[in-house]
Chains A and B, each alone.
Chain A
Amino acid sequence: ETGVTQTPRHLVMGMTNKKSLKCEQHLGHNAMYWYKQSAKKPLELMFVYSLEERVENNSVPSRFSPECPNSSHLFLHLHTLQPEDSALYLCASSQDMAAWGTDTQYFGPGTRLTVL
């Protein structure tokens, strides 16, 4: 596998379910990101991790819980979601968090989440 992979690619869950999204990067990068893309809205940054440490939490509801066990893996744990949380969730990585505004981010294909 190369680049950034995400599983599952599609997920349908009820409001009372607990599920997790997984992201893995094979690029040797130090920073990883979760974004949310809703229809007709810009990509919204949710979380940023640098060397497994969370450095940004963009006012995301607590029903979204990230986990970064090492610099190659990033999880997004989901529980008691709302229908408005249905969106495309994208994971990305970049080489160096110290300059992440100018550092090219490499995106995974995303997980299309539907909350019923």
Chain B
Amino acid sequence: DQQVKQNSPSLSVQEGRISILNCDYTNSMFDYFLWYKKYPAEGPTFLISISSIKDKNEDGRFTVFLNKSAKHLSLHIVPSQPGDSAVYFCAASASGGYQKVTFGTGTKLQVIP
């Protein structure tokens, strides 16, 4: 049973527009969420995270929104750039002790010039 779901396997966006990547989770114990970005032939790299005590975290062009009641988070990229084309993984964990990170299946973003 997948506890972290990314229902859109792929997304295409025009350069300069907003990219919105979505993620849903089922485990109510999750209280820390991360986004990783992965280019082909490279390992995932950390992008941005958010704790459940917040509903928004912003870092430059990247903003993550958390809706705890809906168990939903989203990553907004504004403006999108061709270099943002990659696979984006949503991940979640429950704090307290040794809690592993659970990953989603990823969404492949293509930003069209």
Contacts and interface: CB of A to CB of B under 8 A. Distances in A.
Contacts of A20: none
A81 interface: no
Interface in A16-61: 40-43, 45, 48, 55-56, 58
Interface residues of B, number: 27
B51 to A, nearest CB: 8
Interface residues of A, number: 28
Interface in A61-116: 90-92, 97-102, 104-110
B93 A101 contact: yes
A100 B99 contact: yes
A102 B100 CA distance: 9
Interface of A: 4, 6, 9, 40-43, 45, 48, 55-56, 58, 90-92, 97-102, 104-110
